[in-house]
């Protein structure tokens, strides 16, 4: 069995790492360059850096910050936010990113996924999906959870895979920041219906939640933010716990 990955996520707004609840009410969580370096040293398997207001404000992700973060890492590094065309992807890869995460732009223009995969390889393209469970179905949202769309989670994830996505990063908006566990039923459905890795996001509050995402949700990786930023859970202790639960993790 492939080792499960633990991925801290740095949501960056105005140059600082922030963390909110249900995609709003953000508070400062520190300098992204310093946090990224700490996580790399503490045993994180990968890092995700999201410029969370880039799409909403029509900005480009800060290339300079990506360069600084990448210079302090020795683990894979995914960047997202405001990526709308191939030149954005090329610029960020040149700045040191290993993978690119697309969300709103891919929903608006799905062929962007094909273009990234064809030009840079499937492994570079992570399709992030923010979805909320409304009227008994999972609805995908644009612009950091601000705008509902007509796309449904499972069909859109399958389309993304078919177009060349290398991974799906699924965030349950209802679970985001509330620390009651991941959306494991939806994760399970995604994991068994796709042949590419699924990253769980939204809801981590305890070590058991990571275990459940891997066992019940069958996720390949689990992403979290505030429990790491505010040192509620240490990565080394989390990995030791997961190993004790029979889950394969990297040391």
**164 compared with 57, residue with greater pLDDT:** 164
pLDDT in tens, 66-111: 888 888 888 999 999 889 999 999 989 999 999 999 999 999 999 9
**What domains are there in the chain, each with its CATH number?**
5-244 (3.20.20.70)
- CB count within 10 Å of CB 35 equals 23
Average pLDDT, the chain: 88
Task: Note the Cα 83 to chain centre separation in Å.
Answer: 15
Q: Once rounded to an integer, what is the mean pLDDT over residues 201-208?
A: 94
Strand (E) or helix (H) holding 90: helix 86-95
20: pLDDT confidence band, cut at 50, 70 and 90? very low
- Please give the pLDDT value at position 22: 45
What residues form DSSP beta bridges with 11? 18, 50
Interatomic CA distance for residues 206 and 109, integer angstroms: 37
Interatomic CA distance for residues 158 and 173, integer angstroms: 20
Distances in whole angstroms, Cα of residue 45 to Cα of each of 76, 78, 143, 163 = 7, 12, 27, 26
Strand (E) or helix (H) holding 37: helix 32-42
211: pLDDT confidence band, cut at 50, 70 and 90? very high
Indicate if 150 belongs to the active site.
no
Question: Full-prediction pTM beyond 0.85?
Answer: yes
Residue tagged active-site, from 45, 51, 88, 130: 130
């Amino acid at each position: 069995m492939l080792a499960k990955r633990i991925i801290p996520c740095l949501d960056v707004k105005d140059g600082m790492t922030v963390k909110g609840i249900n995609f709003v009410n953000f508070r400062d969580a520190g300098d992204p360059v310093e946090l990224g370096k700490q996580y790399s040293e503490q045993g994180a398997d990968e890092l995700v850096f999201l410029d969370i207001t880039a799409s909403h404000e029509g900005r480009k992700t800060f290339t300079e910050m990506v360069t600084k973060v990448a210079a302090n890492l020795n683990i894979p590094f995914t960047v997202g936010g405001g990526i709308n065309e191939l030149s954005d992807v090329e610029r960020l890869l040149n700045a040191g990113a290993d993978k690119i995460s697309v969300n709103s732009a891919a929903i608006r223009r799905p062929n962007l996924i094909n273009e990234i995969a064809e030009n840079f390889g499937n492994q570079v393209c992570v399709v992030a999906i923010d979805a909320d469970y409304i009227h008994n179905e999972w609805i995908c949202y644009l612009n950091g959870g601000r705008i509902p769309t007509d796309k449904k989670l499972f069909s859109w994830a399958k389309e993304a895979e078919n177009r060349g996505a290398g991974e799906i990063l699924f965030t349950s908006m209802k679970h985001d920041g509330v620390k009651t566990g991941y959306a494991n039923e939806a994760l399970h459905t995604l994991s068994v219906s796709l042949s590419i890795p699924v990253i769980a996001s939204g809801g981590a509050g305890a070590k058991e939640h990571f275990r459940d995402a891997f066992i019940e949700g069958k996720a390949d990786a689990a992403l979290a933010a505030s429990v790491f930023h505010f040192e509620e859970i240490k990565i080394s202790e989390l990995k030791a716990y997961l190993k004790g639960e029979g889950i394969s993790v990297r040391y």
